[in-house]
């Protein structure tokens, strides 16, 4: 039975996700954060470009949390997401 993972979209990026604050991805099993972002990029390419640069790297001041933990302290964008987990994308503290 497939189970969704949920990606929570920061308010500043909802203009690029048709206004959606949550994106639901159907999953058969664990997948990497980068694979999830690839899937989202198909529907919302500008959202993807705000989160990742053209090399596929997470932008420096964008943080992604899987299960409440920063992926930079895990396996980066290779961090696995389990079905049913929440993925939180949030801008870090930067700027003057």
Partner 1 sequence: MGGMAPTVVLAVGTKKGLWLGTSEDRQEWAFTGPHFLMTEVPSIGIDTRDGRTRILVGVRSEHWGPTVVWSDDLGQSWTEPEQGSIAFPPDTGAALERIWQLQPDSADRPGVVWAGCEPISVWKSTDAGRTFELNRGLWDHPHREHWGAGYGGAAAHSVLPSPADADTVHVAMSTGGVYRTTDAGQSWTARNQGISAYFMPDPNPEFGQCVHKIARDASDPLTLFAQNHHGVYRSDDNADSWTSIAEGLPTDFGFVMLTHPRRGGTAWVVPIQADGERIPPHGELAVHRTDDGGRSWQRFDAGLPQAEFNAVLRDAASVDTLEPAGVYFGTRGGEVFASADEGASFSEVLAHLPDVLCVRSAVVVG
Applying CB under 8 A, the residues found at the interface with partner 1 are 12-13, 45-46, 49-51, 53-55, 57, 59, 61-62, 91-92, 94-95
Residue 54 CB, nearest approach to partner 1 (Å): 4
In which region does residue 69 sit, left (phi positive, over 0), alpha (psi from -120 to 50) or beta (all else)? beta
- Tokens linked to 91: 């801008």
How far apart (Å, rounded) are the C-alpha atoms in residues 25 and 3?
8
Residue 65 CB, nearest approach to partner 1 (Å): 15
Q: Which is nearer to partner 1, 4 or 35 (CB)?
A: 35
């Amino acid at each position: 039975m497939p189970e969704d993972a949920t990606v929570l979209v920061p308010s500043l990026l909802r203009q690029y996700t048709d206004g959606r604050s949550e994106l639901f991805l159907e999953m058969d099993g664990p997948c990497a954060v980068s694979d999830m972002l690839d899937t989202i990029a198909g529907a919302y390419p500008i959202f993807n470009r705000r989160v990742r640069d053209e090399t596929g790297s997470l932008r420096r001041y964008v943080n992604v949390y899987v299960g409440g933990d920063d992926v930079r302290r895990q396996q980066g964008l290779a961090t696995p997401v389990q079905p049913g987990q929440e993925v939180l994308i949030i801008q870090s503290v930067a700027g003057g």
